[in-house]
Amino acid sequence: DQQVKQNSPSLSVQEGRISILNCDYTNSMFDYFLWYKKYPAEGPTFLISISSIKDKNEDGRFTVFLNKSAKHLSLHIVPSQPGDSAVYFCAASAHWSQTSYDKVIFGPGTSLSVIP
């Protein structure tokens, strides 16, 4: 049972245009969300995060939007550049309880190709 879903395995965007990567989650306990970018044979690189008390967080060309009622978040990249071509993972975490442990759950990833 996937708790974090990225329903688009791949996405192609023209250079200079907006890339929108989507992520849905099922567990309303999640209260912290992250996006990671990953090149082949490298470790994931942290991009941007958002806490559930916010609905938007911006960092340069990257903006993450959170819609708690829809259990949906999205990553916008504007403008897209060829160097943005990578796999993007959405991840979510929560403080479950004092007796269980905390854990980050990763989505399956979306492969973004930015075409020059």
Partner 1 sequence: DTEVTQTPKHLVMGMTNKKSLKCEQHMGHRAMYWYKQKAKKPPELMFVYSYEKLSINESVPSRFSPECPNSSLLNLHLHALQPEDSALYLCASSQEGPAQDTQYFGPGTRLTVL
Residue type, 40: P
Q: Is 109 in the site for partner 1 (CB under 8 A)?
A: yes
Total residue length of the chain: 116
Could you tell me the CA-to-CA distances from 46 to 37, 40, 89, 93 in Å, in that order? 7, 15, 10, 14
Binding mask 27-46 toward partner 1 (x if CB under 8 A, else -) reads: ----xx-x-x----xxxxxx
**Out of 49, 57, 74, 113, the residue judged to bind partner 1 by CB under 8 A:** 49
Tell me the CA end-to-end span of the chain in Å, nearest whole number: 37
Q: Is 54 in the site for partner 1 (CB under 8 A)?
A: no
Q: Is 103 in the site for partner 1 (CB under 8 A)?
A: yes
- Whose Cβ is closer to partner 1: residue 15's or residue 48's? 48
Q: Is 23 in the site for partner 1 (CB under 8 A)?
A: no
The tokens for 2 are 């996937």
CB of 68 to partner 1, least distance (A): 15
Rg of the chain, C-alpha, whole Å: 14
Could you tell me the CA-to-CA distances from 116 to 9, 14, 79 in Å, in that order? 21, 6, 12
- Whose Cβ is closer to partner 1: residue 13's or residue 47's? 47
Residues at the contact surface with partner 1, assessed by CB under 8 A: 31-32, 34, 36, 41-46, 49, 51, 89, 93-96, 101-104, 106-109
